[in-house]
């Protein structure tokens, strides 16, 4: 491992893309020494383009945490007001205040939470999400407790906004590199948006069976657009060729994986992220999305579980979008035909069966993604 490479050895699915959860648990343990009434801390992220609040990280002392939950911000007048004005909200008696039948409301009551404190998160005055503090005691968040929790809120806000800023900086740098290199292939912005959403859809479906946290899923969504960044180093004569590549051209094209790793490691080094397992997910996405379960992929010929789950998800999402969209050499396939082709690739041992099955289970969501992010 060179100094510019992140440490990606011996990282499990539970470790890669799941570090903020660990940091939040540590902070919660410290907080409990002074404020044992705080039974839960949870952070949700706001995706402005979709107007969605999405569960992200949490530390729950006991009971069952809610995960994989999305809620449209505009559907809640009270939360919209907090986001707009930057104020906090205290509920001293949750059972008396919560009357809706949303999944979150039902869960709050079932878990026995009696009071809560909601704090909006901002990054340079831009709303990015909420912190929810919950207690099983009514009236737990007195003015004194609120004042003392303000420091913890600032620490959480700084941690999350710093991480998001790093991710945005890396993806923005990658985009600038693509534009500077005049990259004009089928990896359009719409393609990157679609396959990132397909990847997130697959990961959400697999969350329970594969023990994936909300943090893992959101990081995968954020990192997915980087998968083919190495193509900035491929000559236009190969990258933009309308027909099939000959063996020599195919060999050149396949070097985009190593080029992508080199670009990403340089960016990771520039931002000082060598020791962050979250950066390992970025490297895995770039390095392994062309590997095949039977060992026939490239660049390393990895097999089965040697291929990180995040890369297996990206592979299926990428192939699916390639099949269902127009390319210079083909017309778009129907959803049914594309799924059938993915299942054929599963049968011959190329791609992950669970990922394909997850995609197949959500035809309406797939259709919505295709409609929302069309090629211009």
Active site residue 350: no
Report the alpha-carbon distance of residue 70 to residue 60 in Å, rounded.
Answer: 19
Report the alpha-carbon distance of residue 65 to residue 190 in Å, rounded.
Answer: 34
pLDDT of residue 177: 59
pLDDT of residue 102: 80
The answer to whether the CB of 351 falls within 8 A of the CB of 289 is no
Highest-scoring range by mean pLDDT, 7-11, 136-140, 215-219: 136-140
Phi-psi category of residue 309: left, alpha or beta, with phi > 0 → left and psi -120 to 50 → alpha: alpha
In the chain, how many H helices and how many E strands?
15, 6
Using DSSP's 3-state secondary structure scheme, residue 38 falls into: coil
State yes or no: pLDDT of 10 exceeds 50. Answer: no
CATH number of 165-372: 1.10.3210.10
Q: Which one is catalytic: 54, 231, 350, 360? A: 231
Where do the CATH 3.30.450.40 domains begin and end in the chain? 39-139
Where do the CATH 1.10.3210.10 domains begin and end in the chain? 165-372
Q: What class does CATH assign to 39-139?
A: alpha beta
Cis status of the peptide bond prior to 31, with omega within 30 of 0: no
* Helix, strand, coil percentages, rounded to 5, for the chain: 55, 10, 30
The answer to whether the CB of 201 falls within 8 A of the CB of 58 is no
Q: Which residue has the tokens 């004009």?
A: 184
Report the alpha-carbon distance of residue 267 to residue 256 in Å, rounded.
Answer: 16
Report the alpha-carbon distance of residue 343 to residue 366 in Å, rounded.
Answer: 16
State yes or no: pLDDT of 57 exceeds 70. Answer: yes
Q: What is the pLDDT of residues 210-221, one digit of tens each?
A: 999 999 999 899
* Burial class of residue 41, CB neighbours in 10 A (0-12, 13-18, 19+): buried
The answer to whether the CB of 274 falls within 8 A of the CB of 4 is yes
Q: What is the pLDDT of residues 153-183, one digit of tens each?
A: 999 999 888 877 777 777 666 666 555 544 4
Task: With both helix axes pointing from N to C terminus, report the angle between 256-270 and 247-254 in degrees, rounded to the nearest 10.
Answer: 20
Q: What is the pLDDT of residues 65-111, one digit of tens each?
A: 898 899 999 999 999 999 999 999 999 999 998 876 788 888 999 99
């Amino acid at each position: 491992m060179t100094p510019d490479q992140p440490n990606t050895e011996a990282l499990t699915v539970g470790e890669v893309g799941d570090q903020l959860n660990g940091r939040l648990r540590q902070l919660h343990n410290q907080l409990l020494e002074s404020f044992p009434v705080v039974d839960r801390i949870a952070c949700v992220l706001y995706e402005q383009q979709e107007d969605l609040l999405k569960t992200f990280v949490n530390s729950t002392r006991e009971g069952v945490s809610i995960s994989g939950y999305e809620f449209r911000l505009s559907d809640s007048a009270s939360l919209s007001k907090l986001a707009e004005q930057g104020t906090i909200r205290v509920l001293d008696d949750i059972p008396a205040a919560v009357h809706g039948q949303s999944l979150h409301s039902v869960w709050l009551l079932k878990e026995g939470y009696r009071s809560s404190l909601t704090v909006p998160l901002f990054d340079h005055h831009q709303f990015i999400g909420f912190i929810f503090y919950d207690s099983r005691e009514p009236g737990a968040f007195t003015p004194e407790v609120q004042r003392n929790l303000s420091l913890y809120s600032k620490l959480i806000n700084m941690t999350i906004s710093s991480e998001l800023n790093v991710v945005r900086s890396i993806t923005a740098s990658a985009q600038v590199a693509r534009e500077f290199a005049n990259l004009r292939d089928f990896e359009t912005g719409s393609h990157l948006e679609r396959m990132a959403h397909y990847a997130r859809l697959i990961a959400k479906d697999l969350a329970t069976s594969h023990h994936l946290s909300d943090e893992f899923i959101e990081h995968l969504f954020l990192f997915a657009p980087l998968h083919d960044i190495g193509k900035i180093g491929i000559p236009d004569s190969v990258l933009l060729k309308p027909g099939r590549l000959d063996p020599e051209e195919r060999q050149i094209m396949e070097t985009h994986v190593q080029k992508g790793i080199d670009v990403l490691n340089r960016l990771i080094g520039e931002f000082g992220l060598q020791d962050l397992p979250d950066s390992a997910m970025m490297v895995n996405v770039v390095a392994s999305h062309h590997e095949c379960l039977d060992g026939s992929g490239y660049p390393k010929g990895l097999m089965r579980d040697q291929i990180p789950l995040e890369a297996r998800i990206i592979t299926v999402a990428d192939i699916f979008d390639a099949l269902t969209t127009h390319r210079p050499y083909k017309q778009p396939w129907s959803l049914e035909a594309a799924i059938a082709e993915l299942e054929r690739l599963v049968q011959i041992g190329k791609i992950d069966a669970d990922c394909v099955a997850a995609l197949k289970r959500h035809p309406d969501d797939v259709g919505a993604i295709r409609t929302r992010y069309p090629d211009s």
